[in-house]
Amino acid sequence: MSAEPAPAAAAAPAPEQAPGPAPPAGGGEAAEHRALVLTGFGGYEKVKVQARRGGGPRPGEVSVRVRACGLNFADLMARQGLYDRLPPPPVCPGMECAGTVRALGDGVRDRQVGDKVMVLARSGLWQEVVNVPASQTFLMPEGMSFEEAAALLVNYITAYMILFDFGNLRPNQSVLIHMAAGGVGTAAIQLCKTVENVTIFGTASASKHDSLKESGVAYPIDYRTMDYAEEVRKISPKGVDIVLDPLGGSDTSKAFNLLKPMGKLITYGVANLLTGQKKNLMAMAKTWWNQFSISALQLLHHNKAVCGYHLGYMDEEFELVGGVVAKLVNLYSQGKIKPKIDSVWPFDQVADAMRQMQEKKNVGKVILVPEAPKEESKKEEN
């Protein structure tokens, strides 16, 4: 699974314990810092800003002053108790962030104080200060903002591995991207554009279609008013080569049936479980009942592939994930990909940020920052 508007789960390289805070520069007593804490499963109000205090980085770790954090679809599921990679509450969520290295643990040689880094973890990154293994940090490329850096890792790693490692995307192929205006959807569209003559079908509400067309979606489909499978077949009677499925349930069966011979279905989330602020047992039962199932023998007759992807279970795959990040940084530096930021919210407005994503109002990434964005601060001063 993965992240944002689609993934029902996502995140990777994480320490055994959630990232902790760092000491004040120069030693002495640990400074207090703010963190977002999931106090229990339920609605938006369950995530609260709390004060935390902690020690310095352990051997092999770096301490990072966090400047921006990514909000992912898996975080919404975690709030409802539907994401299995999050420790039980009270717990600090957050799978990705970006900031500046402020202290080094013993044995860290490949990072320096002052380095601007992106961080990936299973949880624990929605804090002002975190301690994380240096192996879970990646140097930000020149010219990248902290907001962009917090929007890159989960969504783009997911989209890249789904499209290229599993999907084997090649020129002249066609792809169906669900929740195309979300974080993974936006990343997938940009990555498809790096391959020659790829035809993109994208589902999203009608208000987002102009934005999708501008970004490279040839055929936006309003899933709320149309049967997307029928719409795809009107344009491409044989179907498509690759379907990215973050939805689960009956949509996975529809995806499989839409594949051309030698087509590939990659399922990476169960967004259909999420119907409101709190856990919906009826939606869970319906999704489970409609779960796609196929035997190896049936698969053999269809000439199709079914793949499952969940970044949260890549915890120990440092080389694999690091290799993907290096490719993404290179693509960013070449101007071929650029994270699209939907909105930026201070920690105090985390409920509004989650609502923005859960109600599918976002086009691109929803970002959390420890302090109010500068523009807002200026407005308040005037």
Q: Reduce the secondary structure of 298-318 to three states and give it as a string.
A: HHHHHCCEEEECCHHHCCCCH
Alpha-carbon distance values, 332 to 117, 142, 192, 325 (Å) = 15, 9, 14, 10
Instruction: Tell me which DSSP letter residue 45 carries.
Output: G
Output the CA–CA distances (angstroms, integers) from residue 273 to 8, 88, 204, 221, 223, in the order listed. Answer: 8, 20, 18, 21, 17
The pLDDT score that the predictor gives to residue 290 is: 67
Please tell me the predicted confidence (pLDDT) of residue 81.
86
Query: Of 252, 242, 107, 258, whose CA–CA distance to 161 is shortest?
Result: 242
pLDDT for 275: 55
Q: Regarding beta strands 341-346 and 365-369, do their DSSP bridges make them parallel or antiparallel, or are they unpaired?
A: parallel
Per-residue DSSP letters for 120-182? Answer: E-SS---BSEEEEEGGGEEEPPTT--HHHHHHHHHHHHHHHIIIIIIS---TT-EEEETTTTS
Question: 206 φ, ψ to 5°?
Answer: -55, -35
Quick one: pLDDT at residue 23?
46
**Angstrom distances, CA of residue 151 to CA of 5, 96, 108:** 13, 8, 26
Give the number of other Cβ atoms within 10 Å of residue 293's Cβ: 7
Bridge partner list, 164: none
In angstroms, the CA 206 to CA 228 distance is: 13
Instruction: Provide the residue type at 354 as one letter.
Output: M
318 token code pair: 């440092």
Tell me, what's the pLDDT at 338?
97
Are β-strands 116-120 and 96-104 bridged in parallel, bridged antiparallel, or unpaired?
A: antiparallel
Parallel, antiparallel or unpaired: strands 129-133 and 47-53 = unpaired
Structure token pair of residue 132: 């994380």
Q: What pLDDT does 8 receive? A: 35
184 by DSSP, 3-state: which?
helix
DSSP string, 192-213: HTTSTT-EEEEE--GGGHHHHH
Give 10-residue mean pLDDT values along the chain (382 residues): 37 42 46 93 93 91 98 88 84 96 97 98 96 97 97 97 98 97 94 98 95 96 94 97 92 95 91 57 65 84 95 89 97 97 96 92 94 53 38
Which two structure tokens, joined as six digits, stand for 59?
């051997």
Instruction: Give the largest CA-CA distance in the chain.
Output: 69
pTM exceeds 0.85: yes
Instruction: Find the angle CA(326)-CA(330)-CA(335) to the nearest 5 degrees.
Output: 150
Query: What token pair was written down for 41?
Result: 């499963």
